[in-house]
């Protein structure tokens, strides 16, 4: 657990679904994921004057190699801000922990000013869909209960990889968080949860669900077309999300997409 004090508002950056390989020449659906990640990092450097913390919400690697996680840390290190990462369905949590040795990258609980930020592992080994194991549900419940009882914590933000709300494309119906009802049963018992942040569906989303702000961010590589019956890539640019957390619980957020970046992708693919 880390506690930090920053200026107001808290300035967060969400980067997600980088799908890096151990080799810098690795490609996902014909897009070089290291190259696209590097362009996103350059865009952040150009656009953002201050970053207090980076949220990396899963599918850090495509091949789950130690080298891929090292490549991510090298790239993110150029931004000069601390980060926490969580695994996605393409990741290996044990290898992530090895790569993060002697750092706080895998830490699951963070306090910044009057905000509590939680990081959940939704991975199911060998599966695309997600599920919160009992220990993760207990961690969520215990952490939120502690926040509820704390005079120092006024607002909570929960980070996970898998979408806890059903995806907007037909082919996504089975790939999200399978025990989403248990997740929301715990979340709704706590009045301080203000925002849920996730990745996995490679889209820009910003909506209210059960009275809670929900934010999903584009991948740093390929994007998935909304409202598609079958797997379809969207012809929009990679990006990242800025999140400003205010002392009164209000949130400003914006997705910034890379501009002037020409890339190739297999837009005829029916899956990956």
Quick: pLDDT tens for 5-39.
Answer: 888 899 999 999 999 999 999 999 999 999 999 99
- Segment 131-149 mean pLDDT: 98
pLDDT digits (tens, 9 = 90+) for 44-98: 999 999 999 999 999 999 999 999 999 999 999 999 999 999 999 999 999 999 9
Q: Is residue 253 part of a domain?
A: yes
Q: Domain of 195: which CATH number? A: 3.60.21.10
Number of domains the chain contains: 1
Q: Which backbone phi and psi does 6 adopt, to 5 degrees?
A: -130, 175
Q: Is residue 270 part of a domain?
A: no
**Per-residue confidence at 271, pLDDT binned at 50, 70, 90?**
confident
Q: Is residue 179 part of a domain?
A: yes
- pLDDT at residue 4 tops 80: no
The range of the structural domain enclosing residue 72 comes to 11-257
Q: Which residues pair with 256 in a beta bridge?
A: 240
Q: Is residue 262 part of a domain?
A: no
Q: Is residue 75 part of a domain?
A: yes
| Burial category of 90 from C-beta neighbours within 10 Å (exposed 0-12, middle 13-18, buried 19 and up) | buried
Q: Is residue 6 part of a domain?
A: no
Residue 2's pLDDT is 82
């Amino acid at each position: 657990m880390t506690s930090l004090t920053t200026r107001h508002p808290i300035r967060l950056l969400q980067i997600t679904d980088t799908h890096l390989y151990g080799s810098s020449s690795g490609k996902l659906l014909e897009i070089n994921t290291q190259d696209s990640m590097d362009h996103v990092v350059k865009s952040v450097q150009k656009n953002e004057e201050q970053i207090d913390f980076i949220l990396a919400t899963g599918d850090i690697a495509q091949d789950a190699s130690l080298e891929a996680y090292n490549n991510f840390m090298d790239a993110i290190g150029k931004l000069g801000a601390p980060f926490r990462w969580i695994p996605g369905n393409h990741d290996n949590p044990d290898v992530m922990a090895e790569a993060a040795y002697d750092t706080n990258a895998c830490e699951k609980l963070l306090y910044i000013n009057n905000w509590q930020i939680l990081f959940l592992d939704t991975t199911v080994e060998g599966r695309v869909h997600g599920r919160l194991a009992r220990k993760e549900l207990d961690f969520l419940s215990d952490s939120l209960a502690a926040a509820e009882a704390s005079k120092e914590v006024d607002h909570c933000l929960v980070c996970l990889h898998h979408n806890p709300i059903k995806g907007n494309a037909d082919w996504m119906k089975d790939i999200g968080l399978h025990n989403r009802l248990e997740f929301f049963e715990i979340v709704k018992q706590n009045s301080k949860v203000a925002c849920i942040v996730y990745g996995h569906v490679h889209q820009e989303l910003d909506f209210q669900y059960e009275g809670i702000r929900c934010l999903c961010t584009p991948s740093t590589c390929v994007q998935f077309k909304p409202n598609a019956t079958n797997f379809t890539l969207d012809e929009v640019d990679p990006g990242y999300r800025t999140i400003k957390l205010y002392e009164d619980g209000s949130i400003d957020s914006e997705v910034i997409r890379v501009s002037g970046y020409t890339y190739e992708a297999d837009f005829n693919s029916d899956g990956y």
